[in-house]
Amino acid sequence: MILRFQAVQNMLPEGRARESLELAIDRAAVAITEGRDAIQALRGSGGNGNDLVQAMTSLGQELAAHHAATEDGIPITFRVLVEGNPQQIRAALQDDLCRIASEAIRNAFRHARASRIEVDVRYDKRMLRLRIRDDGVGMDPRFLKPDGRAGHWGLPGMRERAASIGAQFDAWSHLNRGTEIEVTIPAFIAYCQSQDNDNPVT
């Protein structure tokens, strides 16, 4: 249904009708993703450090199948980078991290007109860091403020979700210079068990 609505959206001229339909499609896609993530979380009790990486990889591959190139015909490349030794993340936190990252990745594919999208997951003995960056058109830095942009809830929603789990949320962007989203959360909050000096994450 979403694919059909997207086809209709592409036939509409620029204006309020197209913007309203685009917003509805985005909300529907987020609802579907959240439902699927919830089911996967129920199926996989406990999980492991690779679950977050696998979720981001699967989402990127799924989006790349529908957004293979930019409007200018430039192929879109997507990759997930992992630093450190993957740790088991608390299930509830992993769900929230997946939702934050999903929102950022979807925005990069659908709105940024980026040719390169990267997700960087770093497992550190002091913190867990999740970073999503693209080389797209970027945005006015004023829109990165906590109050965001009227009628757009993506960034404020990500910021609020990060705050609710004790994570630090940061965003950087400039027009025509891409966007970068970063979420950092202390290791003692993120990991199922704290690390010791005998088994450090580098």
Query: Residue 120 corresponds to which amino acid?
Result: D
Return the H-helix or E-strand segment holding 117. Answer: strand 116-123
Summarize the chain as % helix, strand, coil (round to 5). 45, 20, 30
Q: Who wins on pLDDT, 66 or 191? A: 191
Question: Exposed/middle/buried for 91, CB within 10 Å: 0-12, 13-18, 19+?
Answer: middle
DSSP 8-state assignment for residue 81:
E
Q: Who wins on pLDDT, 117 or 74? A: 117
Q: What are phi and psi of 67, to 5 degrees?
A: -130, 70
| Residue ranges per structural domain of the chain | 1-43, 47-190
Say if residue 116's pLDDT is above 90: yes
Q: Which residues fall within 8 angstroms of residue 99, CB to CB, at 6 or more apart? A: 33, 34, 37, 161
The predicted structure's pLDDT at residue 9 = 82
The structure's pTM equals 0.68
Return d(Cα 183, Cα 91) in angstroms, integer. Answer: 17
Strand 77-83 and strand 116-123: the pairing is parallel
Residue-wise pLDDT for 143-153, tens only, equals 777 665 544 45
Share of the chain above pLDDT 70, in %: 83
Is there a contact between 13 and 22 (Cβ–Cβ < 8 Å)? no
- Average pLDDT (179-201) is 76
Return d(Cα 97, Cα 111) in angstroms, integer. Answer: 21
Cβ atoms within 10 A of the Cβ of 138, count? Answer: 20
Specify the CATH class of 47-190 in words.
alpha beta
The predicted structure's pLDDT at residue 65 = 80
Which of 131, 124, 132 shows the shortest CA–CA distance to 186? Answer: 124
The predicted structure's pLDDT at residue 39 = 56
Q: Who wins on pLDDT, 61 or 79? A: 79
